[in-house]
Structure 1
Amino acid sequence: MRDDATGRTILAHEPRRIPWLDLVFGFGPMLPIVAGAATAWWLQGQPLDYLVALATQFYAASILCFLAGVHRGVSFRTEGGPRLSQLVTMLVLYGLGLGSLLAAAMGKAVPSLAMLILGYLLVAVLDPLQARTGGVPLAHARLRPIQMPLAIVSLAVLLWIKLNAPY
């Protein structure tokens, strides 16, 4: 690291392999989404299934907003400064997360879940593409395609439950 009157220069090395901590902090946050969907599936038709599904939606929305913040955070350290693709991705992910949260709070589970599924799908597709150009860490090219399907499938299960509920 080099400091001068105009700023700071940082030299960093990113591994292509997924670091151990990225596995822990990548898959760990997906577990409550998977557990929420499995619990809602198990409780179908019982009074608590709605509450479990709602809590899972709130949690998944908060993680999606966090992932938007990851994109913004990486943009601060991007060579040449933030890229338009990073900023647009951040805004779209945050908008989907916030929109999902608001829809869930208003009792609109189907739009909420649709926004979450779209958001996590975008992360699964865009992060590997942005990793090639330095928009996100290189390890995301390998991590996101195996991490995000856990959330996508779990949220699709919640959507299926909601669409097939008798009430």
Structure 2
Amino acid sequence: MLENATGRTLVTEEPRETPWLSVVLGYGPMLPFVAGAAAAWWQRGMWDELILLATILYGAAILLFLSGVRRGVSFRTEGGPTVVQIATMFGLFCLGLGALLTVVILGNRVIALDLLIAGFVAIAILDPIAARRGEAPLFFARLRPLQIPIAVLSLVALLVLKLTAPY
């Protein structure tokens, strides 16, 4: 790192391989989605609404966190933050906040799940593109297409449960 009166110059090398810690911190947070979907289906009629709510709240928290990750990465983008990075961050934030407010204020779990699914699908598509453009770590191109579908499939399973529930 070089410092001068006008700022700091960073020279870094980024691996294409997903670092071990990013594997753990990438796939570990996907497990509550799977657990929530499995538990809601298993406890149909008894606890499924509470499990569904907890999983939606968790999903909103993760989506909001990932919007912050996108913003954080933009601070270290060569040439400064791009319009796409900022727009993606705002889009993910709005979807996460929308899901949170929809389920808490309106009590609408279907719309909340739709918003979360849209947000996580966007991450699975946009993060690999951002990685190739130098707007996200290179390993996102390999991590996100395998990691994020775990959350998406779990949320879809919850949506199917909610849409097919007899009550």
TM-score (norm 1): 0.98
The alpha-carbon deviation at position 49 of structure 1 amounts to: 0.9
Which consecutive aligned stretches of 4+ in structure 1 deviate over 4 angstroms post-superposition? none
- Structure 1 gaps of 5+ residues are none
| Counterparts of residues 47-58 of structure 1 (less than 5 Å) | 48-58=47-57
1:12 corresponding residue in structure 2? 12
1:30 corresponding residue in structure 2? 30
| SS class of match (1:45) | coil
**Partner Cα distance (2:89, 2:127) in 1:** 11
Show CA shifts across 1:40-75 (max 9, x none): 0101111x1101100000000100011000110000
**Partner Cα distance (2:135, 2:115) in 1:** 23
| SS class of match (2:119) | helix
2:138 corresponding residue in structure 1? 138
The alpha-carbon deviation at position 104 of structure 1 amounts to: 1.1
**Partner Cα distance (1:22, 1:113) in 2:** 26
Kindly, what percent of the aligned residue pairs are identical? Answer: 57
2:79 corresponding residue in structure 1? 80
**Partner Cα distance (2:72, 2:80) in 1:** 11
| SS class of match (2:3) | strand
Show CA shifts across 1:107-128 (max 9, x none): 1001000000000000000001
| SS class of match (1:44) | coil
- Structure 2 gaps of 5+ residues are none
Alignment pair present for 1:92 and 2:91: yes
The alpha-carbon deviation at position 12 of structure 1 amounts to: 1.2
**Partner Cα distance (1:84, 1:34) in 2:** 34
**Partner Cα distance (1:138, 1:153) in 2:** 24
